[in-house]
Amino acid sequence: MSPTPELTRKALTERGFCGFMPFRELPDSNVPTRHGIYVVIRTETSSPLFLPASPAGHLKGRDPSVTADKLGDAWVDGATVVYIGKAAGQDGLRQRLADYRRHGTGLLAGHWGGRYIWQLADSHALLVAWRPMSNDDAGEAEQDLIDEFKELHGGSLPFANLRNNARKVPETDTNIDAY
C-alpha cells in the first residue's frame, strides 16, 4: 500500500474509519463491540502545550506523568495522528475505548498505552476514530498503520505510541552446526 501524503481524517474515512468524536462523547455513542483498530487525532497542527502532570489514572501504583522534555522528544511535528491502537478483547472497540477514556479522567482502567495524550493541554479536543475488523486482522492492521506513519514521518512513531509493535517474524529452520 502506498502511503497518502498524510493520515488525515479524510484519508482515514476513505479507509473505513468512523466515529471521529471527542472521548467525552464515547459513552453516548454506538462504538461497536467488534475487534478493530483505532486512532486518536489532534486536528490542531500547531506545537502543543504540555501539562506538568497527567490527569490520567495511576496503574499499579505508577504515575503516568512524564516530563515536558520527554513529551517534546516524542512529539511529531505536522502529524495529526497522535496514537494508533488495536482492540482485540472480549468487548472489542467499545470496551477498549471506554477504558482509554476512563484512564484519561483519572479513574483506574486497564489502558496504560497511549497515556501521553492526557498530558496535552488540549486533550479534550482530541478525536477518536475506529475501524471494525476481525480479531485476526486487527494486529496486522495496527502495525500496517504504524509502519505507514513511520514512513511518512522519518521513522518516528506516533506521539503516544511508546513502542513499535513489530511483526512477529516466523521462525525458520536454521542449521546451528553451520555457525
* pLDDT tens sequence across 2-38: 444 689 999 999 999 999 999 999 999 999 999 999 9
Q: pLDDT digit string (tens) for 31-71?
A: 999 999 999 999 998 999 999 999 998 888 889 999 999 99
**C-alpha grid cell for residue 160?**
503516544
Helices H / strands E in the chain, number of each: 4, 4
Residue 11 to residue 23: CA distance in whole angstroms: 21
- pTM of the full structure: 0.88
Residue 39 host element (H or E): strand 36-41
Local structure of 137: helix, strand or coil: helix
Q: How many CB atoms lie within 10 A of CB 11?
A: 15
Residue 71 to residue 62: CA distance in whole angstroms: 17
What amino acid occupies position 1?
Answer: M
Strand partners, 40: 83, 128
Strand partners, 39: 84, 129
